[in-house]
Amino acid sequence: MNDAPAYDAATALPSANAARLVATARLVRARARLVSGLVLLAFVLCHLASHIFLIVSLPLANDMLGQLMMFWWGQIGTYLLGAVLAIHVLNALWSIYIRRYLRLPLWELTQLVLGLTIPALLVLHTVGTKVADQQLGTSSDYYSVLTLHWVVYPGLVALQTVAVLTLWVHACIGLHFWLRIKRWYPAWRAILGTVAILIPTLAIAGYVSGGNQIRREAQNPDFVAGVMKSAGETPETIAQVMQMTAIGLAIYAVLVLLPFAGRGVRGAVQSLHRQPRLTHANGQVLAMLPGATVLETLRAYGIPHASVCGGRARCTTCRIRVSRGLATLPEPAGLEAMALSRIGAGDSVRLACQIRPTADISIMPMLAADSSAADGLVHGGMEGSERQVTVVFIDLRGSTTLGEAKMPYDVLFILNQFFNEMTRALDATGGHYSNFTGDGLMALYGLEAAEAAFGAEQALRGAREMLMRLDQLNTRLRTDLKEPLRIGIGIHVGEAIVGALGPSGSQIVTAIGDTVNTTARLEGLTKDYDPAFPG
C-alpha cells in the first residue's frame, strides 16, 4: 500500500490553467471573506451606536435606531446583510473543511471558535426581531425588546451581553491581524485599541441603562401589557419565535458538522495513497496529508514557522526557499503571485501558506519563526542568498589625529559631513550603504539582479564621485582643517552571501564571505602603498 503513487489532491486540475483557476478562486474567496466581514462590522457599528444613546433616554435611542438602521432595514440592506452573512459563515465552514490539520495558533483558533458561536448566540434575537416583524407582523423597537429582556425573560440579558462581547472580540481579532501588516498601523494601534474598548463598553452601558429605565416603567402594572400589545407580541407569536429559533439552531448545527464529516470521509480516502514527504532544513522528514499547505504541515508537527497574517498571503513572513521539488509545484498565481511580486522574490521562493505539494519537496524557511510584520516587508532575496556582488570599503585617514585636535562636537560635525557626502555619492551611482565602522563605511553595488553585471562599473563611478565630493568637502572645511581629509578605497567583485542582518525593526542589508574580507584587505593595503585620496 505504501508503494502506491503519491496522491494528487488536484487530479482533476492537472493543467497550469486549472492551477491558475484554483488560485483565482482562492483570491476571490479571500476578498469575499474580507469584504463580507467589513460589511457585517458596519452593520454592528450602526447597531451598537444606537445602543449608546440609551444612556441618555429611550425615546432618543429609538429615534437614533431608526436613523442608523434605516439602510439595513430597507430591502436592499436586508438582502445585502443576508448575503454577506451567508458568505462569511459558509467561508468559515469551508476553511474548516479545506484544512488538513486543525492545529492552529491560539488567536486563529479563538477567532474561529468565536465566529462559529456568534450565529448560535444571535439566532433568537434575529428571529425575535427582524424575522418576526416580517413574517409574524410584530413591531420591534427598544421598548418591546428591552421589556422582553429585562422583565419578561431576564435570562436573555446575559445571553445578549455575551453575544455582543463574542461578536466584538471576533471582529477585533480579525481587524488586528488584517491591519497589523500595514505600515501605518503601529502608530494608530493605541488609538484604535481605545476605540475598540469604548464602543462595546458604552453600548453595554446603554443596554443596562435602557433596561433599568424599562424596569422602572414596569412598576406600572399596565406598562408591560401595553408594550406587548403595541408590538404585537402574544403568547402565540412568542411560541412561533421559539419554534423558528429551534429550527434555525438545528439547521446551523448540521451546517457546522458537515465540514467535520467531510474531513472524515476525505481522510479515509486519502489513507489509501502514499503521502508526499516534506524535508525541512532542520533535517526532519514529515509526511504530508494530500492537499495540506506546507504551513499547515509544519504546525501539525509542532515546528515553529512565521506567519503573521495567519496564512492569508498578506504578510509574506512564511516565505520559504524550495530546494527540491520546485518543478512539481504550479506557478504562483492569485494571492501568492501578488505577494511574491510585491517583495520581488526569486523563482525558488514560495509562500508556505499557499503551496500544497503533491510530490516530495524540500524547503528552507527564509525568516525566523518569531518574525514580525515589519520583517515581511523585507525585499525578497534579502533573507540570505549567495550572489555576485561588488563590495566597496572606504576608510577615512587620520581620524584619530582629528579626534585629538578637535572638540568632540567639531569631530562629530566633520564626520557627519563626511558620511553625508559619501552616501550621496552612493545614491548618485546606484550603490547601497551597508554599514559604517566609526571612520569608514561599507557599500554594495549590483544588489538587484538586473544591475549585478554592472556592479563593478557602478562602483568605479561611485569611487570617482566620492573623490569629487571629498574634494568639495575639503574646500568647504579648509578653515576648520589643518590638512585635507584623505580616504582609502578598496573595491572587489565576487560571490558573497547577501541578506538582511540585525535585530527586528533595525536590520541592514549587508554581505559576508571571502569577497568582503578580500575587499577589506585591499582597502587596508592602501595604507601601506599610500594611494590615499585626494593625494
Give per-residue pLDDT as tens, 188-228: 999 999 999 999 999 999 999 999 999 999 999 899 999 99
**Domain residues for 204?**
16-267
- Contact between 60 and 53 (Cβ < 8 Å): yes
Q: Report whether pLDDT(235) > 50.
A: yes
Give strand pairing partners of 51: none
Q: Are residues 236 and 351 in the same domain?
A: no
Residue 323: give its domain's CATH number: 3.10.20.30
> How many domains does the structure of the chain reveal?
3
Per-residue pLDDT averaged across 437-455, rounded? Answer: 78
Give me the chain's average pLDDT, please.
86
- Which residues are CB-contacts of 104 (< 8 A; sequence separation ≥ 6)? 112, 299
Percent of the chain exceeding pLDDT 70 equals 90
Question: How many Å apart are CA 516 and CA 492, to the nearest integer?
Answer: 8
Taking residues 20-31, what's their average pLDDT? 84
349 and 469 in a common domain? no
- Identity (one letter) of the amino acid at 118? I
Choose among 390, 389, 398, 391: nearest CA to 488: 398
Contact call for residues 156 and 148 (beta carbons, < 8 A): yes
Partners of 510 in beta bridges: 499
Residue 35 lies in a domain: yes
- Minimum mean pLDDT range among 91-100, 168-177, 423-432, 436-445: 436-445
Residue 535 lies inside a defined structural domain of this protein: no
User: How many residues can be counted in the chain?
Assistant: 535
Query: What pLDDT is stored for residue 403 in this prediction?
Result: 56
Contact 80, 39 (CB under 8 A): yes
Clarify whether residues 263 and 293 are in a common domain: no
- Per-residue pLDDT, averaged over 387-404, amounts to 79
Compute the average pLDDT of residues 118-147.
93
Top-confidence residue, 433 or 240: 240
Q: What SS3 string covers 178-211?
A: HHCCCCCHHHHHHHHHHHHHHHHHHHHHHHHHHH
Q: What is the CATH number of the domain that holds 466?
A: 3.30.70.1230
| Pairing verdict, β 277-279 and 361-365 | parallel
- The DSSP secondary structure of 20-73, one letter per residue, reads HHHHHHHHHHHHHHHHHHHHHHHHHHHHHHHHHGGGT-HHHHHHHHHHHTHHHH
Are both 363 and 426 inside the same structural domain? no
Is 358 found in the same domain as 249?
Answer: no
Domain assignment of residue 147, yes or no: yes
Query: Is residue 8 assigned to a domain?
Result: no
Q: What is the pLDDT of residue 10?
A: 41
* Residues 470, 359 within the same domain: no
pLDDT digits (tens, 9 = 90+) for 169-188: 999 999 998 998 888 998 99
| Amino acid, single-letter form, for residue 270 | Q
Nearest to 116 by CA among 48, 173, 174, 167: 167
Query: What would you measure as the largest C-alpha separation in the chain, in angstroms?
Result: 107
Q: Is position 4 within any domain?
A: no
pLDDT for the residue numbered 5: 39
Q: Whose CA is closest to 399, among 504, 319, 485, 300?
A: 485
- Are residues 245 and 300 located together in one domain of the fold? no
312 and 248 assigned to the same domain: no
pLDDT, tens only, 329-354:
988 988 898 888 888 787 888 999 99
**Which stretch of 10-14, 39-43, 92-96, 524-528 has the lowest confidence by average pLDDT?**
10-14
Of 377, 399, 422, the last residue of a domain is 377
Q: What is the pLDDT of residue 3?
A: 39
Asked if the structure places residue 27 within a domain, the reply is: yes
The DSSP result for 338-371, as a single string, is HHHHHHT--TTEEETTT---SS-EEEEESS-TT-
Using CB atoms within 10 A of its CB, is residue 31 exposed (0-12), middle (13-18) or buried (19+)? exposed
What is the structure's pLDDT at 512?
86
Distances (CA, A) of 445 to 46, 233, 450, 527: 55, 78, 11, 24
Of 387, 481, 475, 490, the residue nearest 437 (C-alpha) = 490
User: What does the block give as the cell for 239?
Assistant: 411560541
Pair (398, 344) in one structural domain:
no
pLDDT band at 503 (very low <50, low <70, confident <90, very high): low
| Residue 137 within any structural domain of the chain | yes
| pLDDT level of residue 361 (50, 70, 90 thresholds) | very high
Q: Mean pLDDT over residues 315-337, rounded? A: 89
Average pLDDT over residues 499-521: 78
pLDDT at 377 over 80: no
Give the three-state DSSP class for 499.
Answer: strand
Name the amino acid, one letter, at 439.
D
Residues 6 or more apart in contact with residue 498 via CB below 8 angstroms: 381, 382, 384, 385, 386, 387, 389, 444, 447, 509, 510, 511
> Which H/E stretch holds residue 497?
strand 486-501
The answer to the question of residue 5 being in a domain is no
Last residue of a domain, one of 347, 377, 407: 377
Mean pLDDT of 500-527: 80
The last residue of one of the domains, among 377, 410, 431, is 377
Helix (H, G, I), strand (E, B) or coil at 513: coil
**What percentage of residues in the chain have a pLDDT greater than 90?**
52
Q: How buried is residue 530: exposed, middle or buried, by Cβ count under 10 Å (0-12/13-18/19+)? A: exposed
Counting Cα atoms < 13 Å in the Cβ hemisphere of 275 gives 18
DSSP-assigned letters across all residues of 373-437:
TTGGGSPTTTT-EEEEEEEEEEEEETHHHHHHHS-HHHHHHHHHHHHHHHHHHHHHHT-EEEEE-
Residues 439 and 495 occupy one common structural domain? yes
Indicate left, alpha or beta for 137 from its phi (over 0: left) and psi (-120 to 50: alpha): left
Among 120-124, 131-135, 382-386, 494-498, the range scoring the smallest mean pLDDT is 382-386
Residues 174 and 292 in one domain: no
Q: Are residues 396 and 373 in the same domain?
A: no
* pLDDT score, position 6: 41
Going by their DSSP bridges, the two strands 285-287 and 277-279 should be labelled as antiparallel
Angle, CA 48 vertex, CA 244 and CA 30 arms, to 5°: 75
Cβ atoms of 392 and 443 within 8 Å: the answer is yes
In terms of DSSP H, where are the helices of 53-184?
A: 58-68, 70-73, 75-98, 106-126, 132-135, 142-147, 155-179
